[in-house]
């Protein structure tokens, strides 16, 4: 059941010219999506400008928020607002996160330990094998594999994760969830939805326009602690995903390949720029300080009477002063941002710390190992 305010979120989100930045601008100006939807033309123009305001008014005259919400419910998709407590915490940290995610298959707490695996649509057998093995290796250690459901490397990474008992993977689409792209991945999408998540920020009916994929790529990296690139040309969209990862403070990993292959140029270029060379899932886990987590600990977030790891202890000690922003934890600890993120995620899942505000953490004093 959708709340009345959620219906206005859905309708406003579908309006022409209203991307995340303008959506949040409207919420700031009018307090609620319903308030923005029902506001007068002059007030809208002051926030959006004359043309975008006029387009919104025209869209409003032919659109019923209740009817749009009903379409989503009848299609069987879930709707997750950025204000919902189950909205992915890592994604919420990026600049202008998607106001709405349409999804099938619920997000789970363990999805906060996620790594993206992306690459060429025209992958070589060697690249496909590497993506499958990395996807399976990550999933076997309880790490959720994120990718874009594209042909080639993306599909191989998803399939690798699905091959592991209990393995989870998230597919992020560059279209509406009812417009499967590529069409031959319809069955794969259904398999992912059964044991993982298929999601999109694009409303139902949105075709897979080329301009949608950079936005899709920022969500892939936003959901992940790091992005792994397996085979990519120098103009590949996978490199856009890597760029977003860097902007979002996430790690970038690259799998090297034969120097004579065009698909090796993207990963090799990333390595030259400082990306970590990786050959298997273990390399990624170690870089993120996740290799010491056993699978059952990751999936069940068990509390065990053991000592904190050195990284956990340093973060715990820094939080002794009280509520502390993530940026300060990274700066004072001297620990890489992705490692601090991943360790905080696990400590929050286990109940040792809480996020009291955006990127601000504190100890839960009633718990200690």
pLDDT in tens, 93-116: 999 999 999 999 989 999 999 999
Question: CA-CA-CA-CA torsion for 75, 76, 79, 80, nearest 10 degrees?
Answer: -150
For 334-357, what is each residue's pLDDT tens digit? Answer: 988 878 887 887 787 667 888 777
Q: Count CA atoms within 13 Å of residue 367 on its CB side.
A: 18
* CA nearest to 195, candidates 127, 104, 133, 132: 104
Mean pLDDT of 267-273: 95
Query: In the chain, what is the straight-line distance between the N-terminal and C-terminal CA atoms, in Å?
Result: 40
Of 214-223, 295-304, 326-335, minimum mean pLDDT range: 295-304
Going across the sheet that includes 360-363, the strands are: 324-325, 360-363, 353-357
For 115-128, what is each residue's pLDDT tens digit? Answer: 999 999 999 999 99
* CA nearest to 188, candidates 200, 168, 171: 171
In this prediction, residue 294 carries a pLDDT of 43
For 70-95, what is each residue's pLDDT tens digit? Answer: 999 898 899 999 999 999 999 999 99
Of 166-180, 197-211, 329-343, minimum mean pLDDT range: 329-343
Residue linked to tokens 């990284």: 311
Mean pLDDT of 179-191: 94
pLDDT value at 366 more than 80: no
Residue 356, classed as helix, strand or coil, is strand
Q: Count CA atoms within 13 Å of residue 268 on its CB side.
A: 11
Domains of the chain, each with CATH number or no CATH: 1-75 (1.10.150.20), 104-287 (3.40.50.450), 303-363 (1.10.10.10)
pLDDT value at 293 more than 50: no
Which pLDDT band, with edges at 50, 70 and 90, does 308 fall under?
confident
Cα 175 to Cα 111, 180, 213: the distances in Å are 22, 7, 8
Q: Which helix (H) or strand (E) holds 14?
A: helix 4-14
Which pLDDT band, with edges at 50, 70 and 90, does 365 fall under?
low
Mean pLDDT of 49-64: 96
Q: Which two tokens stand for residue 101?
A: 């995610």
What global pTM score does this model have?
A: 0.80
Contacts 24+ apart (CB under 8 A), 181-190: 181/149, 181/208, 182/150, 182/151, 184/151, 185/149, 185/151, 185/155, 188/149, 188/155, 188/158, 188/159, 189/149
pLDDT value at 201 more than 90: yes
In sequence order, what are the beta bridge partners of 361?
A: 324, 355
In this prediction, residue 290 carries a pLDDT of 79
Which pLDDT band, with edges at 50, 70 and 90, does 163 fall under?
very high
In this prediction, residue 307 carries a pLDDT of 65
Residue 218, classed as helix, strand or coil, is helix
Residue linked to tokens 């707490």: 109
Cα R_g (the chain), whole angstroms: 21
In this prediction, residue 211 carries a pLDDT of 92
20-30 and 41-48 are packed helices; what angle lies between their axes, rounded to 10 degrees?
A: 130
pLDDT value at 1 more than 70: yes
pLDDT value at 291 more than 70: no
Mean pLDDT of 245-255: 95
Are the C-beta atoms of 210 and 176 separated by less than 8 Å?
Answer: no
């Amino acid at each position: 059941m959708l709340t009345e305010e959620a219906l206005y979120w859905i309708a406003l989100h579908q309006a022409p010219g209203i991307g995340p930045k303008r959506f949040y601008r409207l919420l700031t100006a009018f307090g609620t999506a319903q308030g923005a939807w029902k506001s007068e033309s002059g007030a809208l123009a002051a926030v959006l400008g004359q043309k975008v305001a006029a387009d919104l008014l025209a869209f409003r005259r032919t659109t019923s928020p209740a009817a749009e919400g009903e379409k989503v419910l009848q299609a069987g998709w879930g709707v997750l607002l950025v204000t919902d407590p189950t909205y992915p915490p890592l994604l919420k940290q990026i600049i202008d996160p998607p106001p709405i995610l349409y999804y099938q298959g619920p997000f789970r707490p363990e999805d906060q330990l996620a790594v993206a695996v992306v690459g060429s649509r025209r992958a070589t057998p060697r690249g496909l094998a590497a993506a499958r093995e990395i996807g399976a290796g990550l999933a076997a250690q309880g790490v959720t594999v994120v990718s874009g459901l594209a042909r080639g490397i993306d599909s191989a990474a998803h399939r690798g994760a699905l091959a592991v008992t209990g393995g989870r993977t998230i597919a992020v689409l560059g279209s509406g969830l009812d417009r499967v792209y590529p069409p031959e991945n319809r069955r794969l999408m259904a398999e992912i939805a059964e044991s993982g998540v298929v999601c999109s920020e694009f409303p139902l009916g949105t075709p897979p326009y080329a301009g949608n994929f950079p936005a899709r790529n920022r969500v892939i990296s936003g959901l992940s602690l790091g992005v792994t690139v397996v085979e990519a040309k120098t103009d590949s969209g996978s490199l856009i995903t890597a760029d977003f990862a860097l902007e979002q403070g996430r790690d970038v990993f690259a799998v090297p390949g034969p120097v004579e292959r065009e698909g090796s140029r993207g990963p090799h270029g990333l390595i030259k720029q400082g990306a970590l060379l990786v050959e298997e899932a273990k390399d990624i886990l170690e870089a993120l300080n996740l290799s010491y987590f056993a699978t059952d600990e990751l999936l069940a977030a068990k509390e065990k009477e053991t000592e904190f790891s050195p990284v956990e202890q340093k973060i715990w000690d820094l939080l002794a002063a009280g509520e502390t922003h993530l940026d300060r934890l990274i700066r004072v600890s001297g620990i890489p941002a992705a490692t601090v993120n991943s360790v905080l995620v696990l400590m929050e899942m286990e109940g040792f710390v809480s996020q009291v505000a955006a990127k601000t953490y504190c100890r839960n004093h009633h718990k200690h190992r």
